[in-house]
């Protein structure tokens, strides 16, 4: 498990929880959206609604002078389209939120019909960090009738659940990426659930992680293994059955874990702070394809009776050793991990998933340029081969380059294709490796 600070043990109090319906949210970095207008937000919301996402979590940094205009635009678009949003107060990006500023935001925006509420009609509140300000929330909760699910991942779960006499109604864990060349496990999720007792657990699901930013405010340059992560994690959601799921993220381009569209005008950060434009033209749209299926399965406990069969694929756009690694480390010792060369954690492969009613009679072909490989399914749905769900596998780049097209056929008939992403290159486009992926 990843802890953002040192461990500390303390006693904790378990209060009766408010059981809410299962909900799926997506994390939005409001600091990235200054340039977006109403039409952009209506587009974002429609895409989220198509994916069956219930609400956007609005991460707001304290004192950011772009917040107010962005929030007005977002709430208006959400009201118009009958979508929901709620706040995650970021206590780390620009320092802790003063209690009065939190109260002011909740008072003004909590009255909107777009503000997300629990089944008990409480306003849903979250944070990014801020455990030292836990006591503020005793009054904030009372004054605003809120349901409070902070991310205090810098503390261990037992410590976090006990802060300010157990002020949290649940906890969000930001721990969404594996340590080393492994698949993520549910060990940390189970630790949270155990510490929480009958309080709510909000589980993080993320498709990728690569960041390479350098400016006066911060320097960060590492990756965590993203191969197989997205679909593995959704399978874990079905096992863990958390009260809430938060997708990390909709638009955090700087850490390459966006599942929303790449909008050129949101990429200003890269011009000033990144050695290469590692997000431009790197669509992640493919990571939304199976969400309606996954989300319905999570909410009902069984695979939907009817769904459209689809295929999705993701790959990096050059072999790992095609150019220097850019100083990017695999893992990060600030998280207590052993750093290793990034190519140890990332395979030069095209990963595909097929959402099928059954794999009976199904074949997979992966074309890279003129070369065609036949794929197999190495991972099948939890109920086994022949059952509805996502079937997965990968093929190596194998020295090929060009457009990537993954085709699923059944008894010779094409069922679905995934294509149209940036081509796989033989060499790097820039002087250092872009460790981001394309998802189609």
Ligand X SMILES: *[C@@H]1O[C@H](CO)[C@@H](O)[C@H](O)[C@H]1NC(C)=O
Q: How far is the CB of 244 from ligand X (least distance, A)?
A: 24
Strand runs (DSSP E) across 215-325, as ranges?
Answer: 219-223, 244-247, 310-316
Q: Which is nearer to ligand X, 79 or 337 (CB)?
A: 337
Is cis: bond before 361, omega within 30 of 0?
no
Q: Which is nearer to ligand X, 10 or 281 (CB)?
A: 281
Q: Which is nearer to ligand X, 150 or 381 (CB)?
A: 381
What sign does the dihedral 425-272-269-154 (CA atoms) show?
positive
Q: How far is the CB of 250 from ligand X (least distance, A)?
A: 21
Q: How far is the CB of 345 from ligand X (least distance, A)?
A: 9
Q: What is the dihedral of CA 330, 261, 52, 178, to 10 degrees?
A: 0
Q: Which is nearer to ligand X, 79 or 181 (CB)?
A: 181
- Beta-carbon count within 10 A of 365 CB: 16
Q: Which residues contact 360 (CB under 8 A, 6 or more apart)?
A: 386, 410
Q: Which is nearer to ligand X, 232 or 363 (CB)?
A: 232
Residues in the site for ligand X, rule: CB under 6 A?
181-183, 228, 232, 277, 280-281, 378-379
Instruction: Write down how long the chain is.
Output: 440
Q: Which residues contact 230 (CB under 8 A, 6 or more apart)?
A: 205, 206, 207, 208, 287, 314
Nearest CA to 71 out of 55, 60, 83, 82 is that of 60
Q: How far is the CB of 53 from ligand X (least distance, A)?
A: 25
Q: Which is nearer to ligand X, 88 or 179 (CB)?
A: 179
Q: How far is the CB of 98 from ligand X (least distance, A)?
A: 40
SS3 78: helix
Q: DSSP secondary-structure letter at 398?
A: T
Q: How far is the CB of 369 from ligand X (least distance, A)?
A: 18
């Amino acid at each position: 498990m990843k802890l953002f600070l040192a461990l500390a043990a303390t006693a904790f109090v378990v209060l009766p929880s408010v059981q809410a319906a299962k909900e799926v949210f997506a994390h939005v970095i409001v600091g990235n959206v200054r340039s977006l207008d109403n039409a952009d937000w209506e587009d974002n919301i429609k895409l989220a609604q198509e994916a069956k996402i219930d609400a956007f979590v609005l991460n707001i940094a304290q004192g950011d002078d772009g917040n107010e205009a962005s929030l007005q635009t977002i709430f208006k678009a959400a009201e118009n389209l009958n979508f929901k949003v709620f706040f995650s107060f970021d206590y780390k990006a620009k320092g802790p939120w003063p209690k009065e500023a939190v109260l002011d935001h909740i008072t003004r925006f909590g009255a909107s019909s777009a503000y997300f509420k629990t089944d008990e009609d409480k306003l849903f509140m979250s944070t990014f960090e801020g455990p030292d300000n836990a006591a503020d929330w005793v009054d904030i909760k009372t004054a605003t009738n809120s349901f409070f699910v902070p991310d205090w991942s810098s503390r261990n779960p037992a410590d976090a659940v006990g802060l300010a006499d157990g002020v949290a109604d649940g906890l969000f864990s930001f721990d969404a990426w594996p340590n080393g060349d492994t698949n993520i496990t549910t060990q940390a999720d189970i630790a949270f659930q155990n510490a929480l007792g009958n309080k709510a657990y909000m589980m993080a699901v993320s498709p990728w992680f690569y960041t390479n930013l350098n400016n006066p405010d911060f320097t960060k340059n590492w990756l965590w293994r993203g191969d197989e992560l997205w679909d593995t994690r959704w399978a874990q959601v079905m096992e863990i059955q958390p009260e809430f799921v938060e997708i990390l993220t909709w638009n955090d381009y700087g850490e390459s874990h966006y599942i929303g569209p790449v909008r050129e005008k949101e990429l200003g950060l890269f011009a000033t702070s990144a050695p290469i434009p590692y997000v431009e033209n790197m669509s992640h749209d493919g990571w939304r394809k199976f969400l309606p299926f996954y989300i319905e399965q999570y909410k009902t406990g069984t695979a939907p009776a009817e769904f459209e069969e689809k295929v999705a694929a993701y790959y990096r756009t050059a072999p790992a050793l095609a150019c220097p690694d850019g100083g990017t480390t695999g893992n990060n010792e600030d998280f207590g991990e052993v750093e290793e060369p990034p190519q140890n954690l990332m395979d030069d492969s095209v990963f595909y998933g097929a959402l099928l009613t059954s794999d009976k009679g199904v074949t997979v072909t992966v074309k890279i340029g003129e070369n065609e490989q036949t794929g197999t399914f190495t991972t099948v749905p939890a109920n086994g081969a022949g059952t509805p769900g996502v079937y997965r596998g990968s093929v190596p780049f194998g020295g090929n380059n060009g457009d990537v097209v993954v085709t699923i056929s059944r008894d010779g008939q094409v069922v679905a294709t995934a294509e149209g992403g940036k081509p796989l290159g033989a060499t790097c486009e820039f002087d250092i490796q872009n460790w981001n992926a394309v998802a189609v």
